[in-house]
């Protein structure tokens, strides 16, 4: 029986790497040797800090996560690997294929073929591991519906925010401005082609047509309300978990018909679902991964055994990292 290493969140600010027995694949299962997993800092820090809601599944839309709702738990949803074994009902031609799957941080995993997304030959593992973040970014832009000549502001330049900025830069906007407290992120955004990047205390521009709140900081939503003009649209892509959100809705928000719109990648907006499904969206995501090549945003490549230090750095010194990936070797 094979042994795998898996990362567990044992409680707030507590992690462990455990060894687990890995059964032989069932007739319809595939064994994948993980090569890379990426930390989704915004979401995973809620689990690291104990800020996730306990009354709901960790992620009901991902089979590998849906049965968990409290510590200890495995988390993560960006895994790239190579098919190592297949069950007796499956073709041996699958062996050696590179795949993406929504799986926790672990050295191996078992999955059905329907749970795997085959990686195109012209996309490197280091770009493919960004697939969920790019899918989220694509979904956010689809929900935002940017219009020719609009003034757009993006709050938050974590990985999703940077990818959204890279996609929005392809539109003929009047201006694209980003806000983030971390100099490294602002520099990365400028390298992607945004027009201006400000720290939160520096931005004095107003009258934007469209704002996207991707920072995970509740105060940024109030800032977005202040920055958009009459009937301005605010797309909220952040998941706040149990963080309280206090909004000032008694002034401009009410009088100026400001719109706040939730965007969540698990579903496609109803007005698009007649023409778009997840398969079509994934096709677009692969194209955007080829166009943007987000592997340039990887700032740290470390073995899984160094996970504790990686999360501690993300918690206390987020300004030092963009994207952390775990590398797995035989």
- What is the rounded radius of gyration, in angstroms, for the C-alpha atoms of the chain? 20
Task: For residues 197 and 298, state if they share a domain.
Answer: no
Range name among 40-49, 273-282, 297-306, 317-326 with the lowest pLDDT average: 40-49
Task: For residues 189 and 256, state if they share a domain.
Answer: yes
Q: Which two tokens stand for residue 217?
A: 């900081």
Q: What mean pLDDT, rounded, does the chain reach?
A: 92
The answer to the question of residue 191 being in a domain is yes
CA distance 253 to 276: 32
Q: Which two tokens stand for residue 93?
A: 């031609």
Task: For residues 247 and 170, state if they share a domain.
Answer: yes
Residue 304 has pLDDT above 90, yes or no: yes
* Residue that the structure tokens 């605010």 belong to: 234
Task: For residues 142 and 256, state if they share a domain.
Answer: yes
Task: For residues 114 and 137, state if they share a domain.
Answer: no
Q: Which two tokens stand for residue 11?
A: 């409680």
CA distance 52 to 15: 16
Task: For residues 9 and 101, state if they share a domain.
Answer: yes
Q: Which residues are CB-contacts of 328 (< 8 A; sequence separation ≥ 6)? A: 33, 34, 35, 36, 37, 81, 107, 303, 304
The answer to the question of residue 252 being in a domain is yes
The answer to the question of residue 217 being in a domain is yes
Task: For residues 137 and 172, state if they share a domain.
Answer: yes
- CATH number of the domain that 147 lies in? 3.40.50.720
Number of domains in the chain: 2
Q: What is the pLDDT of residues 14-62, one digit of tens each?
A: 999 999 999 899 999 999 999 999 999 878 988 999 887 655 545 545 5
The answer to the question of residue 271 being in a domain is no
Q: What is the pLDDT of residues 156-186, one digit of tens each?
A: 999 999 999 999 999 999 999 999 999 999 9
The answer to the question of residue 277 being in a domain is no
Q: What is the pLDDT of residues 86-107, one digit of tens each?
A: 999 999 999 999 999 999 999 9
Q: Is the peptide bond before 72 cis (omega within 30 degrees of 0)?
A: yes
CA distance 286 to 305: 30
The answer to the question of residue 148 being in a domain is yes
Residue 84 has pLDDT above 70, yes or no: yes
Task: For residues 208 and 87, state if they share a domain.
Answer: no
Task: For residues 93 and 185, state if they share a domain.
Answer: no
The answer to the question of residue 206 being in a domain is yes
Q: Which residues are CB-contacts of 90 (< 8 A; sequence separation ≥ 6)? A: 27, 28, 30, 113
Show the domain range for 156: 133-262
Answer with the residue of higher pLDDT: 26 or 247: 26
Residue 263 has pLDDT above 70, yes or no: yes
Task: For residues 67 and 112, state if they share a domain.
Answer: yes
Task: For residues 152 and 197, state if they share a domain.
Answer: yes
The answer to the question of residue 171 being in a domain is yes
Nearest one of 163, 160, 81 to 125, comparing CA atoms: 81
- CATH number of the domain that 74 lies in? 3.90.180.10
Quick one: what percent of the chain has pLDDT higher than 70? 94
Task: For residues 115 and 137, state if they share a domain.
Answer: no
């Amino acid at each position: 029986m094979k042994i795998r290493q898996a990362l567990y969140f044992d409680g707030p600010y507590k992690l462990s790497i455990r060894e687990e027995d890995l059964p032989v694949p069932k007739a319809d299962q595939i064994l994948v040797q993980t090569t890379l997993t990426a930390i989704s800092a915004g979401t995973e820090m809620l689990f690291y800090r104990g800020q996730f809601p306990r009354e709901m599944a960790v992620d009901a839309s991902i089979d590998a996560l849906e049965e968990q709702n409290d510590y200890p738990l495995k988390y993560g949803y960006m895994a790239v690997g190579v098919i190592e074994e297949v069950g007796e009902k499956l073709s041996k031609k699958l062996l050696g294929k590179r795949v993406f799957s929504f799986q926790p941080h672990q050295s191996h995993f078992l999955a059905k073929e329907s749970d795997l997304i085959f990686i195109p030959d012209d996309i490197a593992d280091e770009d493919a591991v960004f697939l969920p973040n790019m899918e989220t970014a694509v979904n956010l832009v689809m929900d935002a519906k940017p219009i020719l000549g609009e003034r757009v502001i993006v709050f938050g330049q974590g990985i999703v925010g940077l990818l959204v900025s890279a996609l929005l830069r392809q539109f003929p906007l009047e201006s694209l401005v980003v806000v983030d407290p971390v100099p490294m992120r602002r520099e990365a955004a400028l390298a992607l082609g945004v027009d201006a990047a400000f720290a939160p205390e520096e931005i004095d521009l107003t009258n934007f047509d469209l704002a996207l709140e991707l920072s995970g900081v509740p105060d940024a939503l109030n800032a977005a309300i202040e920055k958009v003009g009459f009937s301005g649209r605010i797309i909220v892509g952040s998941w706040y978990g149990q963080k309280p959100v206090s909004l000032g809705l008694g002034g401009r928000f009410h009088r100026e018909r400001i719109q706040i719109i939730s965007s969540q990648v698990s579903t496609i907006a109803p007005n698009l679902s007649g023409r778009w499904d997840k398969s079509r969206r994934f096709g677009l995501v692969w194209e955007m991964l080829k166009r943007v090549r987000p592997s340039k945003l990887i700032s740290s490549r470390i073995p899984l055994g160094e996970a504790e230090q990686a999360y501690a750095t993300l918690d206390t010194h987020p300004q030092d990292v963009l994207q952390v990936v775990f590398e797995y070797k035989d």
